[in-house]
Each structure stands twice: as C-alpha cells, then as structure tokens.
Amino acid sequence: MKQALRRSRSAFSQRFGVSGEQNYYAWLQERTGVKLNVRPEVLGWSSRGQASNCPIVNEILDRYKKYSPWQLHASLKEVFVGRVSFLSPNASAESSFGSAPYIAVSEGLYVALDQCLYLWENVGRLQAKVYARVANAKLAEDELRQYIENWATKRELPEFIARTIELKRFLVGGDPSFVARYKGRAELFELRREGVSDIDFEHRKRRIYMAEGFIIGHELAHILHGHVGAPVKKVARAYLADSVAANMDALHNAGELSNEWMQELQADLTGYNELLLASNWEQVRRIGEHPLGPDRSRLGLILFCVDGIAFTILAMYLVSALGAAPTSFSTHPHPDDRLAAIINVAGKQIEQIIDNTTELDHGPEGGGYFQRIRTALEQFQVTYSICKRTLENALNEL
Ligand SMILES: [Zn+2]
C-alpha cells in the first residue's frame, strides 16, 4: 500500500512539476516570492509519508479513509491528492500506465471557489432580507433579481473575476506584472473579508470544508468506480454500483445521458453520498454528538453538504467559462443538471428521515423545523440560479 502511494506521488510530480514530497504552501511561497498569510503550523507541516502535499486536503483524506463505508477504505489509502499551481485542469483524477492513480486540484479552482463563496454569501444574505419582508415567494424572487442586477453592475464582480484570470496568468505563465502588483500583499490572495457579516464568517470554515470535500470526493469517486486507474476491489465496486443505482432511480433523464456524462453523475452522487455525507455522518455518529437528536442532526448535515456543493459547482462553471478547462463543458454535464441531481437525491433523503423520525418537529429556532429544512433546500436552488446569472453578467462585461 505504501508502495502504491509512493508511485502515485511520483507520477503526480512528473506530470505537474510540483513536488509531492514538499508542503504545497511552502513550495508556492518559494515560487511566488509572496509571503502567504497562513497559519504557521500549516507552513510547518510535513508532507512526508502523507497522502497529500497540502495539510488541509490531507485532513479531508484522513477523514474519508477513516470514516467512509468500510468497503472503500483500502482503495482510498492508495491515492495521492496533490495541489498544483495551475488553473487548468481544475481538478482531475489521472493515472499513468502501471502507476497508482493520483488527483490534482488546481490553485485556480481554489481562487474561483473563494470568489463564488463570496458571491454565495452575498446573495444568501440579500435573500434572507427580502424573504423576511416580502411574503409572496414569486414577488420575493423578482425583487431579489432586481436587487442583484443592480448590485452586480457595480465594478466589484467583473473585478473579482478578473482577479481569477490574473492569478491564472501568473501561475501558468509567470507574468511579472502580477508579481509586482501582488508582492507583499498577501490579502490579495485571500478570500475577502470586508462587508461580510459575522454569521457568514461563522459559516465560512464549514462551507470551505464542504466544498473541498466535494471536489476531492468527486475525483476519488472516479477512481473508486474504476473510471480511472487500476480496478478497485470487487466488493467496493459492487457496493458503489448498488448505491448509485438507488440514487439514479431518482433521476428522470438518466437514460438519455452519454456514457461520459453518466460517469460524471456517478462521481457526483458517490462523492456526495458515500464520501462527503457518509464519512462526516459516521464521524458524528461515533463521537455521539447530536445536539438536536440524531435525525434532526442528520437533516442539518445534508443541508450543509448541499450548500457547499452548490457554490462548488458554480466555481467549476466559472473556471470552465474562463476557458481554463475547455474540455470540461463536453465531459461534464451542464452545471444546472449536476446540482439538480444532487438536490433530487438530498430531497429524497430528507423526506425519508422526516417520514420515519420519532423526534420532535423542533429546532434551534423553535417549531416547524422539518418544513424549514425543506424550504432551505428549495432556496438553495434560487440562490444558485441568481449567482449563476450574476456570474454570466460579469463574464459578459469582461
Ligand atoms: Zn469528473
């Protein structure tokens, strides 16, 4: 097993020129000459013998290896997941002949993720304000669109997209004007803080964790399904085939999908259900932390997962739209379909829990908890469609 990890690590280094033996942040700092504003323990972390060159990615992998359904553990232990300083590929699982598979997650995708999270926070906040004032859902949505359109024409949005492109130019081509502008200004590398409410700050860490977890989960799922790399153990493959088949039932148009799109949907559903949701739930279950009771806690976890996945899909869309991943439009299903598939499955999981629970219909904000969960899931779809239109407007203005 150690052997496979070593092979996958060296194949990764050969392909991307980023050492798998080195801490990614230290490597990036050395390469850019910019002192990154990260915690000292992150810079001091050693990647030797670990399954990633990034401590944060490594944490997620550890969780998946420890808590995902037992059939998957062995296969996950053999995969190296590294960060690279490209915008393209955004994230991909690859294998060279005779080597264990590895996964590369690009810095550009992280930057796009930051921008989309910021957009997601802003739209969500406006949404809450408008819903509190306007009772009629349709009116609320119209008013919301009006608000956002005004807001989106400000310079801010095209500017943040431009920043993503600029970073790409630097990372891929070493553009010197970028270095001059960014030198010594670590804050330009980071998710913006101005104008963000306390409540969003509280949620940021969890949202970023869910987003990274989904990106990694999706790519790992390609490996577990055998789309990439050597075939994984029979028992794991059979387990996943059953799990996906059950979820595919929920999809009306699954029969019309090409084989490539089908693989992407399989990776999305497995990444969400078997890795992100299952391993986080298993951890909560073993620790025994159910502040509301197990069923209501699980409902909350499902929502947190979907929340993270929704703006991750936006970030992937942004990276594709910038031309960084020209093939991903053809190989990945339309972003709207990807989110719809996840929401469909999450909705069924939610209804099943609500149908069978013996717990009180009561949450931190009082009675009517179950309905609030359903409404929140519907509202994600509105947030998503507004964010996507806003991104499209901004992209047109570039
Ligand atoms: Zn994929």
Task: Give the distance (Å) from ligand 1 centre to CA of residue 194.
Answer: 34
CA of 117 to the centre of ligand 1 (A): 21
Say whether both 101 and 188 belong to one domain. Answer: no
Q: Separation of 113 CA from ligand 1 center, angstroms? A: 17
Mean pLDDT of all residues in 28-33: 79
What integer pLDDT is reported at residue 182 of this predicted model? 64
Q: For residue 92, how far is its CA from the centre of ligand 1 (angstroms)? A: 7
Bigger pLDDT: 271 vs 332: 271
Residues 320 and 190 in one domain: yes
Domain boundary among 85, 108, 131: 108
Same domain (yes/no): 220, 155: yes
Token representation of residue 366: 């009082």
* Centre of ligand 1 from the C-alpha of residue 218, in Å: 6
Name the residue with tokens 């991750």.
312
Do 118 and 104 fall into the same domain? no
Distance 267 CA to ligand 1 centre (A): 6
Q: What is the mean pLDDT of residues 287-315?
A: 93
Residue 254 has what pLDDT?
58
Are both 52 and 191 inside the same structural domain?
A: no
The amino acid that residue 56 corresponds to is: I
Please tell me the distance between residue 249's alpha carbon and the centre of ligand 1 in angstroms.
20
Residue 93 Cα, ligand 1 centroid: separation in angstroms?
A: 8
Q: State whether 363 and 265 are in the same domain.
A: yes
Dihedral pair phi/psi, residue 147, rounded to 5° = -55, -50
Peptide bond preceding 89 in cis form (omega within 30 of 0):
yes
Distance 343 CA to ligand 1 centre (A): 18
Gap from CA of 220 to ligand 1 centroid (Å): 9
| DSSP bridge partners of 367 | 362
For residues 264 and 375, membership in a common domain is answered with yes
67 C-alpha to ligand 1 centroid (Å):
23
Of the listed ranges 93-107, 148-162, 253-267, 338-352, the least confidently predicted one is 148-162
Query: In which domain, by residue range, is 187 found?
Result: 109-397
Q: How far from 34 is each of 37, 106, 113, 180, CA to CA, in Å?
A: 9, 18, 21, 10
How many domains are there within the chain?
A: 2
Quote the ligand 1 centre to 327 CA distance (angstroms).
11
pLDDT at 155: 60
Q: What beta strand segments (E) does 246-392 contain?
A: 362-363, 366-367
Give me 141's structure tokens: 């949505």
CA of residue 357 to ligand 1 center, whole Å:
35
Q: In the numeric block, which tokens belong to residue 142?
A: 């119209």
Cα of 101 vs centre of ligand 1, distance in Å, is 14
- Residue 217 C-alpha to ligand 1 middle, in angstroms? 10
Neighbours of ion ligand 1 (CB under 5 A): 264, 267
Among 295, 121, 326, 317, which residue's Cα sits nearest to residue 205?
121
d(CA 90, CA 218): 12
* 344 in the same domain as 282: yes
Residue where the block lists tokens 């075939």: 231
Q: Is there a single domain that holds both residue 101 and residue 115?
A: no
Distance 212 CA to ligand 1 centre (A): 14
Q: Name the domain boundary from 60, 86, 108.
A: 108
User: 333 C-alpha vs ligand 1 centroid, how far in Å?
Assistant: 9
- Picking from 314, 233, 276, 235, the residue whose alpha carbon sits closest to that of residue 67 is 276
Find the 257 Cα to ligand 1 centroid distance in Å: 14
CA–CA distance, 151 with 87 (Å, rounded to integer): 27
CB-CB neighbours of 395 under 10 Å: 15
pLDDT band, very low/low/confident/very high, at 251 (cuts 50, 70, 90): low
Give residue 17 CA to ligand 1 midpoint distance, Å.
23
Amino acid identity, residue 85?
S
In whole numbers, what is the pLDDT of the chain averaged over residues?
82
Q: Tell me the CA–centroid distance for residue 38 and ligand 1, in Å.
A: 30
* 110 pLDDT higher than 60: yes
Residue 164 CA, ligand 1 centroid: distance in Å = 22
Please give the distance, rounded to the nearest whole angstrom, from the Cα atom of residue 13 to the centre of ligand 1.
21
Q: Which of 55, 81, 108 is the last residue of a domain?
A: 108
329 with 360, same domain: the answer is yes
Pair (142, 72) in one structural domain: no
CA–CA dist 167, 165 (Å, integer): 5
Share of the chain above pLDDT 90, in %: 34
Identify the top-confidence range among 38-52, 143-157, 161-175: 38-52
Which position has the higher pLDDT, 258 or 156?
258
Same domain, 121 and 224: yes
CA–centroid distance, residue 378 to ligand 1 (Å):
25
Q: Ligand 1: distance of its center to the CA of 163 in Å?
A: 25
Structure tokens at 381: 């779809």
d(CA 361, CA 184): 52
Cα(283) to centroid(ligand 1), Å: 26
Query: Model confidence at 16, in pLDDT bands (50, 70, 90)?
Result: confident
